[in-house]
Chains A and B, each alone.
Chain A
Amino acid sequence: MIAVLRSVYRRDPCLGLGYGLSSFIASVNVWTAASDEQCRTVAGLLLANRKIASVYHELDHGNDLARIECEARPVGDTWVLNGRKEVVTNLQRADALVIFARTDPKPGSRSHSQLFLDKSTVAPDRMRDLPRFPSTGMRGVQLGGVEFRDCAIPRDNVLGRPGHGIETALRSFQLTRTVLPAVMAGQVDTGLRTTVRHVLGRRLYGRPVAEVPYIRSVLVGAFVDLLTVECFTTVVARAIHLLPTETSVYASAVKHFGAKALMDAMNRLSMVLGAHFYLRRGGVAIFQKLLRDLQPVGFGHAARAACQTTILPQLPMLARRSWRTPEAAPDELFRLDADLPALPFDRLAVTAAGQDHLSGSLLAGLDAEGADHRAVSDLAERFAAELRVLADECAELPPGELGVAAGPRSADLATRYGLVLAASACLSVWRHNGDRDPFLGDPAWLLAALTRLSAQQRGEPADLPEHVERRLYAELMDRHEDVRGFDLTNRRVR
Chain B
Amino acid sequence: MKRTKQPAFGIVGAPVHAAVRERLRTDRPGPDPRLDPAGDAARRGDWPTVAATMPPVTADPDLHHRAVAEVAELAVEDDRWLNAWLDAAPEDANAWSVHAQAIMRLAWRLRTAAPGTEVLPEQWVGFRRVLGQAPAACARATALAPGLATPWIVLMSCAQGLGWDHERFRALWAEVTARAPDSVAAHRRALYYWLPRWQGSAELAGGFVMETLDRARPGSLLTAVRFEHAFLEGVADPGAIEAARADLAAAPADHPYRVHHRHWLAYLLTRARRYDEALAEFHAIGGYAGAPPWELFADPAGAFAGTRAEATGRR
Do A and B assemble together? no
Q: What is the interface of chain B, defined by CB distance below 8 A to chain A?
A: none
Q: What is the interface of chain A, defined by CB distance below 8 A to chain B?
A: none
